Amino acid sequence: MTKIIGLTGGIGSGKTTVAKYFAEKGIPVYIADDEAKKIMDSPEVIKEVQAIFDENVLTKKGLLDRKKIRNIVFHHNEKLEALNKIVHPKVKKDFENFVKEHQNAPFIIKEVAILFETNGHKLCDATILVTAPLETRIARVIERDNTTREKVLQIINNQLSEEEKEKLATHIIVNDNIQNTYKMVDILIKNLKIN
């Protein structure tokens, strides 16, 4: 049975960079957010999601307006729960298919932004937390998203603290120097293949 290794990290930690490096090394990587977006673009899901909301949440092209939905669910928890009830089971099924497709791999990486917050780590054989110094994370997000320090801190403060995540993580990768990060991943790949 293929081992499932959960990969997570707070905003700006560099978990996507680490996920891409695993993929470059031939390890199957499932990016949960990307797959959820693809699922949300399917016509039947668009119809189901629109039915939750009183207002129109579609773009001119007929796709879901994610920004509008995010703003609504941020203030209405019951809408977020309804949205999750539609999307999560479909992502779960999609992931199960991904695992079947890669059943001969020694392990697969499942990248999830809120792995610990959703208790997703309990479904993994091990977990990797990507972390970085706070100021590094803030600078990365400001540059990447063209946003403000205040907005980044607001997101960070809404996420589980690094200390809490570290207690739950099996492995920790400190991503403050890309060459060191790659070395840590290389060591981890060797260890995960053996154990």
- pLDDT of the chain along its 195 residues, tens only? 799 999 999 999 999 999 999 999 999 999 999 999 999 999 999 999 999 999 999 999 999 999 899 889 988 889 999 998 999 899 999 999 999 999 999 999 999 998 998 899 999 999 999 999 999 999 999 999 999 999 999 989 888 999 999 999 999 999 999 999 999 999 999 999 887
Judgement on whether residues 125 and 186 belong to the same structural domain of the protein = yes
Question: What is the rounded distance in angstroms from the CA atom of residue 46 to the CA atom of residue 57?
Answer: 9
Amino acid at 83: L
DSSP string, 93-114: HHHHHHHHHTTTSSEEEEE-TT
Range of the domain at 88: 42-93
**pLDDT for the residue 58:** 95
**pLDDT for the residue 34:** 94
Judgement on whether residues 83 and 112 belong to the same structural domain of the protein = no
Backbone torsions φ then ψ of 187, nearest 5 degrees:
-65, -45
The upper half-sphere exposure of residue 81, i.e. CA atoms within 13 Å in the direction of its Cβ, equals 3
The upper half-sphere exposure of residue 120, i.e. CA atoms within 13 Å in the direction of its Cβ, equals 23
CATH of the domain at 182: 3.40.50.300
CA angle 183, 181, 114 (to 5 degrees): 130
**pLDDT for the residue 118:** 87
**pLDDT for the residue 75:** 85
Q: Is residue 184 domain-resident?
A: yes
* Tokens (6 digits) for 103: 């059943």
For the beta sheet containing 3-8, the strands, ordered from the edge strand earlier in sequence to the opposite edge, are: 29-31, 107-111, 3-8, 126-131, 171-174
Binding residue positions for ATP: 12-17
Q: Which alpha helices (DSSP H) does 53-148 contain, by range? A: 66-75, 77-101, 134-145
Question: What is the rounded distance in angstroms from the CA atom of residue 100 to the CA atom of residue 105?
Answer: 10
**pLDDT for the residue 116:** 95
Judgement on whether residues 85 and 106 belong to the same structural domain of the protein = no
Binding residue positions: 12-17
**pLDDT for the residue 159:** 85
* Tokens (6 digits) for 147: 């946003």
Judgement on whether residues 118 and 181 belong to the same structural domain of the protein = yes
Domain tally for the chain? 2
Judgement on whether residues 13 and 55 belong to the same structural domain of the protein = no
